[in-house]
């Protein structure tokens, strides 16, 4: 790299360390006598000015610690992956300083501040910072001295500016592609919802229904068979349910019927309400975090004593083919079909549904994910501080039941279309990964001297 020189970061400007203050002194609202203070969470791809804390001005003892446009913010205490992460301060919308765990690098006139910022973001420089960081169990820290000793490569000032202009040009193209991918993901999500809405209004299988009108047994006949089966099984314990009030429900296609969840399930229950003692190994003890949209996640399970598990499974005995629904917390309404054969127990944050043999479990799962029913399901939780779906509510959740023949057709059609959506979504994820690699490649070329050279060639 003719005309380039190697030098330490500390030779290119001044490193400004953050201020110290007691945790209880900070607030989340601006007020007289307080100043905004940036933290590691504000050091993103662009400086995040929305999530600010405010501290008394008395802790700002030096105006040099005020953030200026052109500063480079560096996270000097973070996870090993994120230590050394940098943001460029393009503008300062509010008077602000910086906290203990970040530093501001202020370039002198010999270098372009964006050139230094981009180089600090380059993979080899980030790796060099991680290599000199002091790492404990949860956090890595790089001192101001070690940051100042990080080696950078610097050409003439005019070439620095040409490199910055080229990086920004290429990054603009990459960002435009990423934005297009984000829009595509939104459209795919909307399509999923539109597909399920069409499925359970009867529109999706309308043509099939007309072509097979003489071969379809109405859902009312199927329901009667389910009732007769239940009467035989329960004997004197069987209780006839009152008719379902459908006055506020949409009209269904001919041959369909509105039913309650308990009409088409042999059991609806939930897991342990009082968390038993967990142990290092034993019977799997799963909670809401282990229920994903695609199935059960066993990457971080808890375990319970086998004796406690036997007692727990007398009431709640999940097995392959059952349906699980998250009934509490941020993931409320998330659901999946049990896709493992291992014996496990559930915490009370998960509801267990055992569909009857004459109704497809996949059909019920798709219903629970459809816009109309998912909104109705999650609305059962109300607006209390702790959102929850209760058994008394979900058991009477109305479901649109097609004839058994149409169930098979509907599930097959929906799954065929959803598989295509899944393929496109996986392709988008791959392209997003490539876009990140593309940014890294641009930076690698820029600071090896190859970026402008390839343009000249």
* 77 DSSP 8-state letter: E
Look over the chain and give the mean of its residue pLDDT values, rounded to a whole number: 92
In DSSP notation, 225-259 reads HHHHHHHHHHGGG--PPPPP--TTS----TT-EEE
Helix (H, G, I), strand (E, B) or coil at 292: strand
* 260 DSSP 8-state letter: E
Helix axis angle, 371-379 to 157-199, nearest 10°? 90
The three state secondary structure string of 338-384 is CCCCCCEEEECCEEEEEECCCCCHHHHHHHHHCHHHHHHHHHCCCCC
Q: The tokens of 101 are what?
A: 């765990």
The pLDDT value recorded for residue 420 is 96
User: Tens digits of per-residue pLDDT, 284-300?
Assistant: 999 999 999 999 999 99
Ordered by start, the domain boundaries in the chain are: 5-154, 156-216+405-457, 230-402
Counts for the chain of helices (H) and strands (E), in that order: 12, 24
Check for a shared fold between 5-154 and 230-402. yes
User: Tens digits of per-residue pLDDT, 236-245?
Assistant: 888 888 888 9
**Statement: the pTM of the whole predicted model exceeds 0.85:** no
* 177 DSSP 8-state letter: H
User: Tens digits of per-residue pLDDT, 265-323?
Assistant: 999 999 998 888 899 999 999 999 999 999 999 999 999 999 999 999 999 999 999 99
φ, ψ of residue 29 to 5 degrees: the values are -120, 140
User: Tens digits of per-residue pLDDT, 313-372?
Assistant: 999 999 999 999 999 888 899 999 999 999 999 999 999 999 999 999 999 999 999 988
The pLDDT value recorded for residue 453 is 67
Taking the alpha carbons of 301, 306, 308, 311 in that order, is the dihedral positive or negative?
positive
pLDDT average, residue stretch 227-248: 87
Among residues 350, 332, 354, 337, the alpha carbon closest in space to that of 286 is found at: 350
Q: The tokens of 11 are what?
A: 């030779």
Helix then strand then coil, in percent of the chain rounded to 5, is 45, 20, 35
Give domain 230-402's CATH architecture: Alpha-Beta Complex (3.90)
The pLDDT value recorded for residue 147 is 93
pLDDT average, residue stretch 66-93: 94
Interatomic CA distance for residues 448 and 431, integer angstroms: 25
What's the pLDDT band for 456 if we cut at 50, 70, 90?
Answer: very low
The CA-based angle 357-363-367, given to 5 degrees, is 130
The neighbouring-strand residues paired with 152 are: 7
Q: What percent of the chain has pLDDT over 90?
A: 77
Residue 447 has pLDDT above 80, yes or no: yes
Helix (H, G, I), strand (E, B) or coil at 124: helix
Sheet with 53-56, strands from edge to edge, namely 53-56, 34-38, 96-98
CATH superfamily, with its number, for domain 5-154: DNA methylase specificity domains (3.90.220.20)
- Please say whether the beta carbons of 333 and 291 come within 8 A: no
């Amino acid at each position: 790299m003719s005309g380039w020189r190697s030098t330490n970061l500390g030779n290119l400007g001044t490193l400004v360390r953050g201020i110290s203050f007691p945790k209880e002194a900070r607030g989340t609202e601006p007020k007289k006598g307080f100043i905004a203070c940036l933290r590691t969470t504000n050091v993103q791809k662009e400086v995040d000015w929305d999530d600010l804390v405010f501290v008394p001005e008395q802790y700002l003892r030096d105006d040099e610690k005020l953030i200026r446009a052109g500063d480079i913010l560096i996270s000097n205490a973070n996870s090993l992956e994120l230590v050394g992460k940098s943001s460029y301060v393009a503008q300062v919308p509010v008077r602000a300083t910086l906290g203990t765990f970040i530093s501001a690098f202020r370039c002198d006139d010999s270098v372009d501040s964006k050139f230094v910022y981009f180089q600090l973001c380059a993979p080899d420089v980030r790796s060099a910072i991680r290599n000199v960081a002091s790492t404990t169990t949860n956090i890595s820290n790089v001192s101001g001295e070690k940051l100042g000793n990080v080696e950078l490569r610097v050409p003439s000032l005019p070439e620095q500016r040409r490199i910055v202009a080229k990086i920004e040009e290429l990054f603009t193209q990459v960002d435009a592609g990423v934005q297009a991918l984000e829009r595509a993901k939104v459209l795919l999500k909307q399509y999923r919802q539109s597909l399920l809405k069409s499925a359970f209004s009867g529109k999706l299988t309308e043509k099939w229904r007309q072509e097979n009108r003489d071969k379809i047994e109405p859902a009312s006949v199927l329901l009667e068979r389910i009732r007769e089966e239940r009467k035989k099984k329960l004997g004197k314990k069987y209780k006839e349910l009152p008719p379902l009030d459908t006055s506020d429900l949409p009209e269904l296609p001919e041959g369909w019927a509105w039913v309650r969840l308990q009409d088409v399930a042999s059991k609806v229950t939930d897991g342990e309400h009082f968390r038993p003692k967990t142990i290092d190994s034993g019977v799997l003890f799963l909670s809401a975090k282990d229920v994903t949209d695609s199935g059960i996640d066993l990457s971080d399970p808890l375990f319970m004593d086998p004796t406690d598990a036997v007692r727990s499974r007398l009431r709640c005995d999940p097995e392959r083919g059952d349906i699980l629904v998250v009934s509490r917390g941020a993931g409320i309404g998330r659901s999946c079909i049990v896709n493992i054969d291992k014996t496990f127990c559930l915490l009370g944050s998960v509801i267990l549904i055992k569909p009857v043999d004459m109704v497809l479990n996949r059909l019920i799962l798709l219903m629970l994910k459809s816009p109309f029913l998912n909104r109705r399901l999650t609305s059962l939780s109300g607006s209390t501080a702790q959102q929850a779906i209760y058994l008394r509510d979900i058991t009477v959740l109305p479901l649109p039941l097609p004839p058994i023949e149409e169930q098979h057709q509907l599930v097959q059609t929906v799954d065929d279309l959803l598989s295509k959506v899944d393929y496109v979504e996986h392709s988008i994820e791959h392209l997003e990964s490539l876009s990140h690699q593309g940014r890294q490649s641009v930076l690698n070329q820029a600071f090896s001297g190859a970026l402008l050279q390839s343009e000249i060639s």
